[in-house]
Amino acid sequence: MPRFRSKFEQRLALALKRAGVKFGYESERIGYLKKHHYTPDFVLENGVMLEAKGRFMSSDRAKHLLIQKQYADNPLDIRFVFMRASNTLNKRSKTTYGDWCDKHGFLWCEKSIPRSWFD
């Protein structure tokens, strides 16, 4: 028998086995997308979306990766404006906010918006 996450699951598996039912335990993985909406902080006339960030939480990063994935065929131009791009993702990380953006293909700046972004 496989290792179960709870005694309840173990009891159910035992009942299925006793009943002669063939089954797999956690044998499939099904992807899904959350149904949410995203409201950019600023949308420029040229279509550039700006996200102003003091703290760049893991939930923010996950949200933007989902958005990027869901709009892969018609990418949105989302750019980040950080108060301090040199902040690290967490206390144990060496990765800065800017590093994360570079890794995932997002443009970013620190404190002020480059003129080239809205010209």
pTM for the model stands at 0.73
Split at pLDDT 50, 70, 90, the class of 31 is confident
61/74 same-domain check: yes
Measured CA to CA, the distance from residue 67 to residue 51 in angstroms comes to: 13
Instruction: Give me the pLDDT at residue 28, please.
Output: 81
Residues 18-42, mean pLDDT to the nearest whole number? 85
pLDDT > 90: percent of the chain: 73
pLDDT at residue number 1: 61
Q: What angle do CA 101, 102, 103 make, to 5 degrees?
A: 90
Q: What pLDDT does residue 30 have?
A: 73
Q: What angle do CA 31, 32, 36 make, to 5 degrees?
A: 155
pLDDT in tens, 45-70: 999 999 999 999 999 999 999 999 98
What is the tally of structural domains in the chain?
Answer: 2
Do residues 60 and 7 both lie within one domain? no
Residues 18 and 69 in one domain: no
CA angle (51 as vertex; 112, 49 as ends), nearest 5: 95
Q: Which residues constitute the domain of residue 55?
A: 31-117
Backbone angles phi, psi at 53, to 5 degrees: -130, 125
Distance CA 114, CA 50 (A): 12
